[in-house]
Amino acid sequence: MNGLRRWIDALWPLALLVVFLGTFRRTSGDSAVDQASPVCDEAYTSDLATLERCLALDSRNVELMTEIGDRYAASAATERAEAMYHRALAIDPHDGDVHLRLGELLLTRGDAAAARAEGEAALRSQPGSLAAERLLERATGLRRTKDAISSFPPPAPSSWRSPEARR
């Protein structure tokens, strides 16, 4: 029994050392992240491809998703921008800035109801936000304009018009 106790006393520090080294040793995947880290730290001034590579390394980075969404929106890839904003909101549903950007995008597409919903969400996240209030005003105004236009009667068939009006 005494011999077993000596072995245990001698080997337990070695076992702890193995566990310690196993926990903190670097893997080959970590080095790729470390190499990309300086590039991703300055990614906001980089091209879209670099931003997307950085997002692949940090798939929950809402700020990066927002930047990519902004780049897509600026290049008229509105479907991709909308998808990126939705992806960011899936991670942080209370990010008022992303709600604002998505609302603006939806408003430029003419979807006043969805833009209004995003404006309301932005206002809940950022009470008193002038940008959110302006988005709501514009979305409500666009909706009223569309409703007013749809309330006009359809144009009369050309057969009902005078010959001078048909020209």
Q: Name the burial class of residue 127, with classes exposed (0-12), middle (13-18) and buried (19+) by CB atoms within 10 angstroms of its CB.
A: exposed
Overall average pLDDT of the 88-92 stretch: 97
Overall average pLDDT of the 98-116 stretch: 95
> Is the model's pLDDT at 54 over the cut of 70?
yes
Contact partners, residue 41, CB within 8 Å, separation at least 6: none
> Is the model's pLDDT at 93 over the cut of 90?
yes
Q: What is the DSSP letter of 26?
A: P
Q: How many CA atoms lie within 13 A of 155 on its CB side?
A: 6
> Is the model's pLDDT at 21 over the cut of 90?
no
SS3 167: coil
Q: Chain-wide mean pLDDT for the chain?
A: 80
Structure tokens at 102: 């998505």
Q: Name the burial class of residue 131, with classes exposed (0-12), middle (13-18) and buried (19+) by CB atoms within 10 angstroms of its CB.
A: middle
| CA dist 31 → 16, 35, 42, 58, 70 (Å) | 25, 6, 18, 14, 30
Length of the chain: 167
d(CA 84, CA 49): 14
Helix axes 96-109, 78-91, angle to 10 degrees: 150
d(CA 101, CA 157): 42
Overall average pLDDT of the 143-148 stretch: 58
> Is the model's pLDDT at 135 over the cut of 90?
yes
Which helix (H) or strand (E) segment is 108 a member of? Answer: helix 96-109
- At residue 34, the pLDDT reads 47
Return the exposure string of 137-163: e unless at least 16 CB atoms fall within 10 Å of the residue's CB, then b: ebbeebeeeeeeeeeeeeeeeeeeeee
CATH 1.25.40, applies to 34-92: yes
> Is the model's pLDDT at 27 over the cut of 80?
no
